[in-house]
């Protein structure tokens, strides 16, 4: 009986051993049939290269006229005729309105009369000088002859007679000088009359209100018959029209204080007009170099030619201003940089295709690229994208990234 039990135990152990052997064999077969895991993986890489990198600021700006003025009258009067209305395009020197100023017309007539009177006074004074000179010449000749005769025959001419002749000679000479002074005064009076005439004529010319430059009438304040006060006598006087020069416009942009130091004359700007969809490039023409205390912004202007008058003052535009520009610097794609704990690192691929973790210092950064100040050299290869899939010391199979080729074709990141 005991032998039978021992046999059963032996058989059971043998069966269990066979099962273990079979399982081990199946495990080996399974492992042998699975493909071997390679330590090499394909990784997209880009070469560190030199290029230009720029930062930009996009902000809304408003188109303003190149210059805009409210045109006032120089003299007070009633509008006899107004020749323009809103929207009319005018040329420099074109008559916009004519004023009726009756009292000024009377002053012009009086000034004309004053000039004619002065001219007549000059003519009379000239005749007086001529008469005085003729009388003086006669008396001077008579006195000279008497004096010569007296010298030739002393006692022949009475002393009283000679004295009288000499006195008349000196008197006539004084009369000549007096006549000449009268002529000079008449000429001065003519100059004064002409000056007065010029003044009132100029004031009369101001009754014709003309355009100071080429532009568009943007508003009309008065109609025929309106009484217009002189702009120089009353600060609240009503203008006649408002005129704007729009053949060239100022695109005015409020730049925040923190970016004002990066604005420079000639900096490029990309302009997108919101109303029309037009896009064009401009350049910074000027800036105020001072800040609005309420908004803490600095006004920057771009000159925009508008010969076709497609743009209208008051339109808005999105302006992309280039705030920083670093040419000929080492750059890498932004997707190649891993930033953590205030450190920036890249996965550098060595000549043996092994991955190295390299800490770098970044400079200027744009949306797509970053400037490398230190840590890399021109021609180094770095992994771009999916950086968490690679470890230091791992052997990879580098493959040039399509991103790098696309950027090279596009000419680099701006």
Classified as helix, coil or strand, 341 is coil
Give me the mean pLDDT over the 147-175 stretch.
85
Angstrom distance (rounded) from CA 181 to CA 189: 12
Residues 315 and 334 in one domain: no
Residue at 4 is within a domain: no
Residue at 19 is within a domain: no
Domain final residue pick, 156, 173, 205: 205
Residues 107 and 185 in one domain: yes
The CA distances from residue 157 to 33, 160, 337, in Å, are 169, 8, 131
Contacts of 112 (CB under 8 A, 6+ apart): 197
pLDDT digits (tens, 9 = 90+) for 288-329: 999 999 999 999 999 999 999 999 999 999 999 877 778 888
Residues 218 and 85 in one domain: yes
Angstrom distance (rounded) from CA 301 to CA 303: 7
Residues listed for the chain: 414
- Tell me what the pLDDT averaged over the chain comes to: 84
Domain CATH code at residue 83: 2.40.50.100
Interstrand relation of 215-220 and 89-90 (parallel, antiparallel or unpaired): antiparallel
Contacts of 73 (CB under 8 A, 6+ apart): 99, 206, 209, 228, 229, 230, 231, 237, 240
Residues 295 and 345 in one domain: no
Domain final residue pick, 257, 292, 325: 325
* Residue 183: pLDDT over 80: yes
Residue 366 structure tokens: 């744009």
Interstrand relation of 297-305 and 241-256 (parallel, antiparallel or unpaired): antiparallel
Angstrom distance (rounded) from CA 66 to CA 402: 48
Residue 333 burial (CB count, 10 A): 20
pLDDT in the model for residue 40: 52
Residue at 167 is within a domain: yes
Which pTM value belongs to this model?
0.60
Residue at 211 is within a domain: yes
pLDDT in the model for residue 72: 92
Domain CATH code at residue 294: 2.40.30.170
Residue at 321 is within a domain: yes
Residues 304 and 331 in one domain: no
Interstrand relation of 227-228 and 208-210 (parallel, antiparallel or unpaired): unpaired
Residues 121 and 191 in one domain: yes
CA 118-123-125 angle, to 5 degrees, is 90
Angstrom distance (rounded) from CA 240 to CA 246: 19
The listed range with the strongest mean pLDDT (33-42, 44-53, 155-164) is 44-53
Residue at 223 is within a domain: yes
Residues 173 and 219 in one domain: no
Angstrom distance (rounded) from CA 322 to CA 282: 11
Residues 89 and 223 in one domain: yes
User: Could you tell me the residue range of the domain that residue 144 belongs to?
Assistant: 102-205
Residues 78 and 223 in one domain: yes
E strand or H helix that includes residue 8: helix 2-33
Give me the mean pLDDT over the 48-71 stretch.
90
The listed range with the strongest mean pLDDT (60-69, 110-119, 174-183, 255-264) is 60-69
Give me the mean pLDDT over the 333-349 stretch.
89
Residue at 148 is within a domain: yes
pLDDT in the model for residue 123: 92
Residue 198 structure tokens: 């010029």
The CA distances from residue 269 to 214, 240, 319, 329, 369, in Å, are 28, 38, 6, 22, 20
Residues 179 and 140 in one domain: yes
* Residue 143: pLDDT over 90: no
**227-228 sheet: strands from edge to edge:** 208-210, 95-100, 77-82, 227-228
Per-residue DSSP letters for 296-323?
-EEEEEEEEE-TT--S-TT-EEEEEEEE
Residues 149 and 290 in one domain: no
Residue 273 dihedral angles phi and psi, to the nearest 5°: -80, 125
Residues 211 and 97 in one domain: yes
Considering only residues 241 and 23, tell me which one the structure prediction assigns the higher pLDDT: 241
What's the total number of domains in the chain? 4
């Amino acid at each position: 009986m005991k032998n039978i039990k021992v046999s059963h135990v032996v058989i059971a152990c043998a069966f269990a051993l066979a099962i273990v052997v079979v399982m081990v064999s199946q495990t080996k077969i399974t492992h042998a049939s699975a493909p071997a895991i390679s330590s090499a993986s394909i990784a997209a890489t880009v070469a560190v290269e030199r290029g230009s990198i720029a930062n930009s600021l996009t902000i809304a700006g408003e188109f303003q006229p190149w210059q805009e003025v409210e045109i006032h009258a120089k003299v007070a009067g009633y509008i006899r005729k107004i020749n323009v209305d809103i929207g009319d395009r005018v040329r420099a020197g074109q008559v916009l309105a004519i004023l009726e100023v009756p009292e000024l017309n009377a002053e012009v007539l009086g000034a004309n009369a004053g000039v004619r009177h002065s001219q007549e006074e000059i003519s009379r004074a000239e005749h007086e000088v001529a008469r005085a000179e003729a009388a003086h010449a006669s008396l001077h000749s008579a006195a000279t002859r008497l004096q010569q005769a007296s010298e030739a025959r002393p006692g022949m001419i009475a002393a009283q007679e000679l004295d009288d002749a000499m006195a008349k000679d000196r008197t006539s000479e004084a009369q000549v000088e007096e006549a000449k002074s009268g002529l000079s005064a008449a000429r001065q009076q003519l100059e004064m009359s002409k000056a007065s005439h010029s003044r009132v004529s100029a004031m009369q010319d101001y009754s014709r209100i003309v355009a100071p430059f080429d532009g568009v009438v943007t508003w009309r304040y008065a109609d025929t018959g309106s009484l217009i006060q002189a702009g120089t006598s009353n600060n609240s006087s009503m203008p006649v029209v408002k005129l704007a020069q729009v053949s060239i416009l100022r695109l005015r942009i409020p730049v925040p204080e923190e970016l004002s130091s990066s604005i420079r004359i000639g900096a490029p700007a990309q302009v997108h007009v919101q109303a029309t969809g037009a896009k064009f490039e401009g350049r910074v023409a000027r800036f105020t170099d001072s800040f609005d205390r309420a908004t803490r912004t600095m006004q920057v202007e771009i000159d925009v030619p508008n010969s076709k008058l497609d743009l209208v003052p008051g339109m808005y535009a999105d302006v992309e201003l280039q705030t920083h520009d670093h040419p000929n610097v080492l750059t890498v794609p932004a997707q190649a940089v891993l930033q953590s704990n205030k450190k920036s690192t890249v996965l550098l691929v060595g000549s043996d295709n092994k991955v190295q973790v390299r800490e770098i210092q970044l400079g200027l950064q744009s949306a797509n690229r970053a400037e490398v100040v230190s840590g890399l050299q021109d021609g180094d290869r770095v992994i771009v994208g999916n950086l968490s899939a690679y470890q230091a010391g791992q052997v990879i199979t580098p493959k040039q990234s399509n991103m790098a080729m696309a950027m090279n074709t596009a000419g680099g990141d701006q």
